[in-house]
Amino acid sequence: MNKKQIKARIEELRKKTEYYANKYYDEDSPVISDFEYDMLMLELRNLEKENPEFVSQDSLTQKVGGHVKEGFKKVTHEVPLQSLQDVFTIEEVEEFDIRMKQKAKESGINEVNYVVETKIDGLSASLEYIDGKLVRGATRGNGLVGEDVTENLKTVRTIPHEIKDKINITVRGEVFISKNEFEKLNREREENEEPLFANARNAAAGSLRQLDSKITAKRPLDIYIFNVQKVEGMEFTSHYESLKYLADIGFNVNPVCIYCKDINEVKQAIKKISDMRNNLSFGIDGAVIKIDNLKFREILGSTVKVPRWAIAYKYPPEQKETILKDIICQVGRTGVITPMAILEPVNLAGSNISKTTLHNEDFIKEKELKIGDTVIIQKAGDVIPEIVRVVKDKRTGKEKDFKMPNKCPVCGADAIREEGESAVRCTGIECPAKLYRNLVHFVSREAMNIDGLGENIIAQLLDRNLIKNIADIYTLKFEDISLLKKNGKKFAQNLVDSIEASKQNDLYRLITAFGIRHVGAKASKMLAKKYKNLDNLSNAKFDDLKQMNDIGEVMADSIVNFFSQDQTKDLIEKLKQAGVNTNAIEEENIDNRFEGKSFVLTGSLEKYTRKEAEELIEKFGGKTSSSVSKKTDYVLAGEDAGSKLTKAQSLGVAIISEDDFSEMIK
So which residues are the catalytic ones?
119
DSSP code, position 663: H
| DSSP H or E run through 38 | helix 34-50
Rounded to the nearest 10 degrees, the angle between the axes of helix 455-463 and helix 435-442 is 140
Amino acid at 74: K
**633 neighbors 654 (Cβ within 8 angstroms):** yes
Cβ count near 586 (within 10 Å): 9
DSSP string over 206-244: HHHT-SSHHHHHHS--EEEEEEEEEESS---SBHHHHHH
Q: Can you say whether residue 250 is alpha, beta or left, with left for phi > 0 and alpha for psi between -120 and 50 degrees?
A: left
| CA gap 510, 524 in Å, rounded | 8
Rounded alpha-carbon distances, angstroms, from residue 559 to 306, 479, 506, 515, 553: 58, 38, 19, 10, 10
Buried residues in 106-123 as b, exposed as e (16+ CB within 10 A): eeebeebbbbbbbbbbbb
3-class secondary structure, 307: strand
527: buried, middle or exposed (CB in 10 Å: 19+, 13-18, 0-12)? buried
Measured at the CA of 540, the angle between CA 535 and CA 545, to 5 degrees, comes to 135
Question: What phi and psi values does residue 74 have, to the nearest 5 degrees?
Answer: -85, 145
Buried residues in 411-432 as b, exposed as e (16+ CB within 10 A): bebbbbbeeeeebbbbbbbbbe
| CA gap 510, 580 in Å, rounded | 9
Which residues are paired to 420 by β-bridges?
none
| CA gap 494, 485 in Å, rounded | 13
| CA gap 513, 507 in Å, rounded | 10
| CA gap 82, 494 in Å, rounded | 61
Report the greatest alpha carbon distance in the chain.
96
Helical H segments across 108-199, by residue range: 150-153, 179-191
Provide the strand spans (E) within 358-440. 374-380, 384-390, 415-416, 424-426
DSSP code, position 453: -
